[in-house]
Amino acid sequence: MSKISSADIEKLSELLRKELKLYEQIRKLTENQTQLLAKDDIDALNTSLSEREACIGKIKGLHQDSNPLMQSYVSFSMGGKDGNSEIDDLKKQIREILESCNEQNDKNIATMRDKTQEHSKKIDAQSAKRKGIGGYAQSVPNTPEVFDKKT
């Protein structure tokens, strides 16, 4: 059974509160990305994805600090000691946000995949039309006399 001091519990709570704020930002960004996909605003989507990546980087840094404390906390609470309700509540909120974001990300990826296929079909159709126009352009004489001649 591992020991954890009240100062460690307070530090862990503080780190988890910071992580929770970042996870809430990620949830908002994920919801925003859904709207941007519906609008086909790819530039704003890329910006939003970059912002989300920055939040994830910050969370990784916080997690490195909180992980040893969390391991001590888990060992402490598994040793028959009552855990800290704030820490347990923060962990639960973070888990709920992660599940929500994961579900929304799956939907966004499916939407992106569908839109990619749709755009590929449009590009293929445009390419086929250009080839058709190219066939007509070859049969039209391209000499200066045809264009300079007054009718």
Burial of 86 (0-12, 13-18, 19+ CB in 10 A): middle
pLDDT tens for 105-135 read 999 999 989 988 887 888 877 877 776 666 5
Overall domain count for the chain: 1
Render pLDDT for 90-104 as a digit per residue (tens, 0 to 9). 999 999 999 999 999
The answer to whether residue 1 is domain-embedded is no
Tokens of 148: 């300079």
Kindly report the average pLDDT of the chain as a whole number: 84
In a domain, 10, yes or no: yes
Residue 145 lies in a domain: no
Residue 110 lies in a domain: no
Residue 150 maps to a domain: no
Can you give the pLDDT at residue 98?
A: 95
116 in a structural domain: no
| pLDDT recorded at residue 77 | 74
In a domain, 112, yes or no: no
Question: Which candidate, 133, 111, 117, 100, places its Cα nearest to that of 45?
Answer: 111
| Per-residue model confidence as pLDDT tens digits over 1-41 | 457 788 988 999 999 999 999 999 999 999 999 999 999 89
Residues whose CB is less than 8 angstroms from the CB of residue 140 and which lie 6 or more positions away in sequence, other chains included: none
Contact indicator for 13, 87 with CB cutoff of 8 Å: yes
Give per-residue pLDDT as tens, 39-73: 989 899 999 999 999 999 999 999 898 988 888 88
| Residue 100 placed within a domain | yes
Question: How far is Cα 17 from Cα 42, in angstroms, rounded to an integer?
Answer: 32
CA 61, 78, 21, 104 torsion-angle sign: positive
pLDDT at 31: 95
Which residue range is the domain that position 54 belongs to?
A: 6-104
